[in-house]
Amino acid sequence: MSQHTSIAGWKGSLPDTSTGTLAPALANKIAMLYPEIINTHSKKTMPLPAKANFPAVPVDKRAKWDSRTDRGNYIKKYIDTYGDPKWNWSSFDIHHVLPLKYGGKNNFNNLYPLPRDMHQNLLNPWRDKY
Protein backbone atom coordinates (compact mmCIF):
# COMPACT_ATOMS: atom_id res chain seq x y z
CA MET A 1 0.00 0.00 0.00
CA SER A 2 1.18 3.49 -0.53
CA GLN A 3 -0.19 6.74 0.80
CA HIS A 4 0.29 10.09 -0.80
CA THR A 5 -0.39 13.74 -0.23
CA SER A 6 -0.29 16.11 -3.18
CA ILE A 7 -0.34 19.88 -2.95
CA ALA A 8 -0.81 22.06 -6.02
CA GLY A 9 -1.22 25.79 -6.21
CA TRP A 10 -1.34 28.51 -8.79
CA LYS A 11 -0.49 32.16 -8.42
CA GLY A 12 -3.50 34.00 -7.07
CA SER A 13 -5.33 30.92 -5.77
CA LEU A 14 -5.31 28.79 -2.64
CA PRO A 15 -3.37 25.55 -2.72
CA ASP A 16 -5.37 22.37 -3.32
CA THR A 17 -4.43 19.32 -1.26
CA SER A 18 -5.26 15.72 -2.10
CA THR A 19 -4.54 12.77 0.18
CA GLY A 20 -5.21 9.16 -0.62
CA THR A 21 -4.18 5.57 -0.45
CA LEU A 22 -3.26 3.60 -3.53
CA ALA A 23 -4.10 -0.05 -3.91
CA PRO A 24 -1.45 -2.57 -2.98
CA ALA A 25 1.26 -3.05 -5.58
CA LEU A 26 3.11 -6.32 -6.00
CA ALA A 27 6.82 -5.96 -6.66
CA ASN A 28 9.68 -8.43 -6.81
CA LYS A 29 13.07 -8.27 -5.07
CA ILE A 30 14.40 -5.66 -7.49
CA ALA A 31 11.31 -3.45 -7.05
CA MET A 32 9.91 -4.28 -10.49
CA LEU A 33 6.11 -4.02 -10.37
CA TYR A 34 4.02 -7.01 -11.41
CA PRO A 35 2.96 -6.30 -14.99
CA GLU A 36 -0.57 -5.19 -15.77
CA ILE A 37 -1.71 -7.12 -18.82
CA ILE A 38 -5.11 -6.88 -20.49
CA ASN A 39 -6.36 -9.63 -22.78
CA THR A 40 -7.70 -7.75 -25.80
CA HIS A 41 -10.06 -10.61 -26.65
CA SER A 42 -11.74 -11.29 -23.29
CA LYS A 43 -11.13 -7.72 -22.02
CA LYS A 44 -9.97 -9.28 -18.71
CA THR A 45 -6.98 -7.92 -16.83
CA MET A 46 -4.55 -10.55 -15.63
CA PRO A 47 -5.22 -10.97 -11.90
CA LEU A 48 -2.58 -10.33 -9.28
CA PRO A 49 -1.68 -12.98 -6.74
CA ALA A 50 -3.54 -12.18 -3.51
CA LYS A 51 -0.35 -11.51 -1.56
CA ALA A 52 3.40 -11.60 -1.98
CA ASN A 53 4.61 -13.88 0.78
CA PHE A 54 3.32 -17.34 -0.06
CA PRO A 55 5.58 -20.11 1.23
CA ALA A 56 6.85 -22.64 -1.29
CA VAL A 57 4.87 -25.88 -1.29
CA PRO A 58 6.88 -29.12 -1.23
CA VAL A 59 7.09 -30.64 -4.71
CA ASP A 60 5.15 -33.77 -3.73
CA LYS A 61 2.25 -31.64 -2.42
CA ARG A 62 1.90 -29.33 -5.44
CA ALA A 63 -0.91 -29.57 -7.96
CA LYS A 64 0.31 -31.27 -11.13
CA TRP A 65 0.00 -29.64 -14.56
CA ASP A 66 -0.51 -31.99 -17.48
CA SER A 67 0.39 -29.85 -20.47
CA ARG A 68 -1.87 -31.86 -22.78
CA THR A 69 -4.96 -32.51 -20.67
CA ASP A 70 -5.00 -29.43 -18.43
CA ARG A 71 -3.99 -27.12 -21.26
CA GLY A 72 -6.67 -28.56 -23.55
CA ASN A 73 -9.33 -28.27 -20.83
CA TYR A 74 -8.38 -24.63 -20.22
CA ILE A 75 -8.49 -23.74 -23.92
CA LYS A 76 -11.91 -25.39 -24.28
CA LYS A 77 -13.30 -23.52 -21.25
CA TYR A 78 -11.78 -20.24 -22.47
CA ILE A 79 -13.51 -20.63 -25.85
CA ASP A 80 -16.79 -21.68 -24.18
CA THR A 81 -16.60 -18.63 -21.87
CA TYR A 82 -15.31 -15.87 -24.18
CA GLY A 83 -15.79 -17.22 -27.69
CA ASP A 84 -13.12 -18.41 -30.09
CA PRO A 85 -10.39 -15.78 -30.53
CA LYS A 86 -9.04 -17.68 -33.56
CA TRP A 87 -5.59 -17.69 -31.98
CA ASN A 88 -2.84 -20.09 -32.89
CA TRP A 89 -2.85 -21.59 -29.38
CA SER A 90 0.52 -23.27 -30.01
CA SER A 91 2.11 -19.81 -29.67
CA PHE A 92 0.43 -19.18 -26.27
CA ASP A 93 1.44 -20.28 -22.79
CA ILE A 94 -1.11 -20.76 -20.04
CA HIS A 95 0.16 -18.69 -17.10
CA HIS A 96 -0.58 -19.68 -13.49
CA VAL A 97 -1.34 -16.43 -11.63
CA LEU A 98 -0.40 -18.10 -8.36
CA PRO A 99 2.32 -20.54 -9.43
CA LEU A 100 2.03 -24.21 -8.54
CA LYS A 101 5.22 -23.75 -6.51
CA TYR A 102 3.32 -21.45 -4.12
CA GLY A 103 0.13 -23.48 -3.89
CA GLY A 104 -1.60 -22.40 -7.09
CA LYS A 105 -4.12 -24.73 -8.69
CA ASN A 106 -5.18 -25.46 -12.26
CA ASN A 107 -8.62 -23.88 -11.86
CA PHE A 108 -9.85 -21.54 -14.58
CA ASN A 109 -9.59 -18.41 -12.41
CA ASN A 110 -5.90 -19.05 -11.68
CA LEU A 111 -4.98 -19.38 -15.36
CA TYR A 112 -4.44 -16.70 -17.97
CA PRO A 113 -3.43 -17.08 -21.63
CA LEU A 114 -0.31 -15.19 -22.65
CA PRO A 115 1.64 -15.04 -25.90
CA ARG A 116 4.67 -17.26 -25.30
CA ASP A 117 7.19 -14.46 -25.81
CA MET A 118 5.40 -12.26 -23.26
CA HIS A 119 5.22 -15.11 -20.75
CA GLN A 120 8.86 -16.08 -21.16
CA ASN A 121 10.37 -12.59 -21.55
CA LEU A 122 8.24 -10.61 -19.10
CA LEU A 123 6.50 -12.80 -16.52
CA ASN A 124 9.15 -15.48 -16.03
CA PRO A 125 11.97 -12.93 -15.48
CA TRP A 126 9.72 -11.04 -13.04
CA ARG A 127 9.04 -14.30 -11.16
CA ASP A 128 12.77 -15.23 -11.15
CA LYS A 129 13.40 -12.10 -9.05
CA TYR A 130 10.46 -12.74 -6.72
- pLDDT of the residue at 80: 98
Residues 6 or more apart in contact with residue 11 via CB below 8 angstroms: none
User: Exposed, middle or buried: residue 107 (CB in 10 Å: 0-12, 13-18, 19+)?
Assistant: exposed
Q: For the segment 9-38, what is each residue's pLDDT rounded down to a tens digit?
A: 666 666 677 776 666 678 888 888 888 899
pLDDT beneath 50, residues of the chain: none
Count CA within 13 A, CB hemisphere, residue 109. 2
- pLDDT of the residue at 32: 85
Domain boundaries, the chain: 36-128
pTM of the model: 0.79
